[in-house]
Amino acid sequence: MKIGVVGLGYVGLVTAGVLSFQGYDVIGIDIDENKINLLKNKRLPIYEPGLSEIIFSDKSKIYFTNSYEDLRDREIIFIAVPTPSVNNEIDLSYVVNASKSISSLNKNCTIVIRSTVVPGTAKKVMGLTNLNVISNPEFMREGNAVYDTLHPDRIVVGGKNAEIVANIWRFTNSPAIITTNENAELIKYASNSFLATKISFINEIANLCEKIPGCDIEIVAKGMGLDPRIGDKFLKAGLGFGGSCFPKDTKAIASFAESLKVELKIVKDAIEVNDERIQHAMEMIKESAANKDISVLGVAFKENTDDVRESRSLLLIKELIKNDYNVSYYDPVVKEEIENAYRCKTAEECIAKNENIVIATEWPLFREYERIMENKIVIDLRRILDHKKIKNYRGVGLGPKS
């Protein structure tokens, strides 16, 4: 089967890489010329563990291009372009434009929408293109994208002849939900909103723990998570959720629902609780730091990625700068320069620089430096260190000693 993938961001590149590795003939297209040049030179435009090995493997039959012309002979074309948030609403223009470009060249293909889109989008694209449109949302986490695409918990496909796409993913041996376009589209939003809500919920309980002597959110979450009805995943209290998905998707579904006169109160509260995390962290820092010279460990929106989109850590650094803190920072992968802050080359340099250390991204690597932080003032916003080992420790969700 001849497959095309439009949009070579995290979702598109991983989809293209995994399918070509499985033996499909894949053409990947992106309008960004730099990206295509990098890929042609066997270099990835993003950091994603395991992706390079599959995408540039001799086994993979994959061709990268800027030109929609190259999609003329494709039977199945995945659309994996961005669906950004504009004034809290989803901007579908990239999906619409990509679909129109495809249909002007290829009248025989099936379009598969892999981007996260509000219910009704596939039908809209069908109307615009006269092509069959199948919805196939992805459920991959950045940093684990290759694993999640090879071993997804489930495959969701919706629309007429959706089995074609379910068959493409059959090698995963994962359960498949074959349904309507609209159900498939909503499953994605409901899943991301539920996970975001779980995080905001545990962050609220963490706020409560901080006021109760003897309480620790890590133990409370563990005790909750052992109940299989609750589950132990996504109960990690911290600085809140960031990234290119949860912040955008929760807002998009809330405003989509509003357009149908439905209020998603819980989702809206989850967004609000998340928005408050930065100020909450600022209060902890103001109360605990010895002075205004501060070292921040972690810039990425979570571990194992170089992505800083909606990164809580980046927002916190900017807020610290706004409040006249002298910020030094370090991230194992993100090399971005932040205005009015100093980027350290190593974690050791960053830790040595100041008495106050803030842990803002949950890179497990930072645990290796626990020993050299023992005598520092540590504000652990991701609860990754052993608080008993640090003399002056303040952590999210950790109550005063009883």
Active site residues: 245
**Choice between 56 and 139, CB closer to ligand UGA:** 139
CA geometry: angle at 59 spanning 53 and 65, to 5°? 80
Please state the closest distance from residue 256 (CB atom) to ligand UGA, in A: 15
**Which residues have C-beta within 8 Å of that of residue 373, sequence separation ≥ 6?**
351, 357, 385, 390
**Choice between 109 and 184, CB closer to ligand UGA:** 184
Tokens of 17: 């890489």
The contact set with ligand UGA (CB under 6 A) reads: 116, 138-142, 192, 195, 199, 234-236, 238, 241-243, 245-246, 301-302, 362
Tokens of 180: 């309507």
Give the Cβ contact number of residue 393 at 10 Å. Answer: 19
Long-range pairs, 197-200, Cβ under 8 A, ≥24 = 197/266, 197/267, 197/270, 198/234, 198/235, 199/234, 199/236, 199/238, 199/240, 199/241, 199/246, 199/270, 199/274, 200/240, 200/241, 200/269, 200/270, 200/271, 200/273, 200/274
**Choice between 74 and 236, CB closer to ligand UGA:** 236
**Choice between 225 and 399, CB closer to ligand UGA:** 225
**Choice between 279 and 291, CB closer to ligand UGA:** 279
In angstroms, how far is the first alpha carbon of the chain from the final one? 64
Residues 53 and 51: their CA atoms lie apart, in Å, by 5
3-class DSSP state for residue 342?
strand
Please state the closest distance from residue 192 (CB atom) to ligand UGA, in A: 5
Please state the closest distance from residue 194 (CB atom) to ligand UGA, in A: 10
Q: Give, as one character, the DSSP assignment of residue 396.
A: T
Residues 290 and 378: their CA atoms lie apart, in Å, by 11
**Choice between 217 and 350, CB closer to ligand UGA:** 217
293 DSSP β-pair partners: 326
Please state the closest distance from residue 153 (CB atom) to ligand UGA, in A: 9
Please state the closest distance from residue 103 (CB atom) to ligand UGA, in A: 25
Please state the closest distance from residue 150 (CB atom) to ligand UGA, in A: 14
Residues 13 and 31: their CA atoms lie apart, in Å, by 13
